[in-house]
């Protein structure tokens, strides 16, 4: 059985918090500051983790939860040296690659497969699972007006905003006017299917309960785990009498983190040491 190690960038990250509570090593990115220094091109950034850090990651199941550097000291350090955040992920890669398994690709938003925008999520999920239902959408180019004639009850969204489906709160002025993204307003009951590992663990009902087909959830989970390189995530589904429609995947687990059942499952998952994805580093 392998050990698990978690690396994260948010002190309130639900997986990191459970790791700390259960004694599983959880490294915050700011702990890397003493072993990181800006360098002239072509090296750009150097990470010299040292024997202790290397031994933590060597042969472990690595859970990468560095989704954004926002608000970290590392972010400020990189800015001071004029180093793009992408180089942090580039230099993190060999450390994470010491593990036997890696859950979540390294990379910034849109680069890591677990941080894809909505249209990419829908495309990739359907590529893996052609029978999956995803929302209708229109995506205009530049400042062109979108063609909404085929979109039933359209609403404008940010392509990056995963869970705002009643009212979009993340649309900035630029995205409101340029490359407009419109979707069909969802129908049915929203449910969150969450998973740790390759099979789905449970359902969370943020508004009302609904009958959800276990087999469909299982298929969606396996497809999502594969295409988003994740074994710890949540999916927003809308359920009607006729269909289950996949709306979004997120590795953050924010919707379900407060649920005691989820925390218990997280503890067991982290301690069992079988965390990690199929994309062995």
Contacts with other proteins, residue ranges (CB under 8 A): 39-44, 46-48, 82-84, 86-87, 90-91, 93-94, 97, 105-111, 113, 116-117, 119-120, 123-124, 127, 137-139, 141-144, 147, 149, 159, 179, 279
Question: Residue 29 Cβ, how far from other proteins at the closest point, in Å?
Answer: 18
Please tell me the distance from the alpha carbon of residue 48 to that of residue 56, in angstroms, as a whole number: 14
Residue among 38 and 188 whose Cβ is closer to other proteins: 38
Residue 141 or 241: which CB sits closer to other proteins? 141
- The alpha carbon dihedral of 126, 226, 121, 247 has a sign of positive
CB of 10 to other proteins, least distance (A): 20
Minimum separation from the CB atom of position 185 to other proteins (A): 18
| Nearer CB in complex with other proteins: 147/214 | 147
How buried is 51 (Cβ within 10 angstroms: 0-12 exposed, 13-18 middle, 19+ buried)? exposed
164, burial (CB in 10 Å: exposed 0-12, middle 13-18, buried 19+): middle
What is the four-CA torsion angle of 130, 135, 140, 145, rounded to 10 degrees? 150
- CA dihedral 234→239→244→247, nearest 10 degrees, is -50
Residue 266: name the closest of 195, 198, 191 by CA: 195
Distance CA 25, CA 17 (A): 10
> Smallest gap, in angstroms, from Cβ of residue 90 to other proteins?
5
Minimum CB distance to other proteins, residue 46 (Å): 5
Phi-psi region of 266 (alpha: psi -120 to 50; beta: other; left: phi over 0): alpha
Instruction: Look at the chain and count its residues.
Output: 281
Q: Name the minimum Å distance from CB 281 to other proteins.
A: 8
Measured from the CB atom, is 166 or 177 closer to other proteins?
A: 177
Residue among 28 and 89 whose Cβ is closer to other proteins: 89
22 vs 160, beta carbon nearer other proteins: 160
């Amino acid at each position: 059985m392998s050990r698990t190690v978690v690396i994260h960038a948010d002190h309130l990250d639900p997986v990191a918090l459970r790791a700390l509570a259960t004694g599983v090593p959880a490294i915050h990115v700011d702990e890397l500051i003493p072993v990181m220094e800006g360098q002239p091109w072509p090296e750009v950034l150097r990470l010299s983790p040292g024997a202790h850090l290397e031994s933590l990651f060597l042969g472990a199941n690595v859970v990468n939860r560095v989704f954004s550097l926002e608000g970290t000291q590392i972010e400020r350090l990189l800015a001071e040296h004029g180093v793009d955040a992408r180089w942090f992920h580039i230099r993190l890669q060999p450390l994470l690659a010491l593990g036997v398994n890696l859950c979540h690709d390294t990379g910034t938003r849109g680069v890591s497969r677990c941080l894809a925008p909505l249209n990419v999520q829908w495309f990739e999920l359907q590529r893996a699972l052609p029978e999956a239902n995803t929302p209708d959408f229109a995506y205009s180019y530049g400042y062109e007006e979108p063609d909404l004639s085929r979109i039933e009850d359209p609403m404008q969204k940010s392509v990056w905003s995963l869970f705002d489906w009643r009212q979009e709160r993340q649309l900035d002025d630029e995205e409101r006017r340029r490359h407009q993204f419109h979707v069909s307003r969802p129908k049915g009951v929203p449910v969150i299917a969450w998973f740790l590992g390759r099979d789905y663990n449970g359902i969370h009902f943020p508004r009302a309960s609904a009958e959800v087909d276990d087999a469909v959830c299982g298929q969606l989970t396996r497809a999502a785990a594969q295409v988003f390189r994740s074994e710890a995530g949540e999916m927003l589904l809308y359920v009607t009498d006729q269909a289950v429609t996949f709306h979004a995947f997120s590795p953050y687990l924010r919707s379900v983190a407060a649920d005691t059942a989820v925390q218990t499952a997280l503890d067991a998952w982290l301690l069992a040491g079988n965390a990690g994805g199929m994309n062995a580093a």
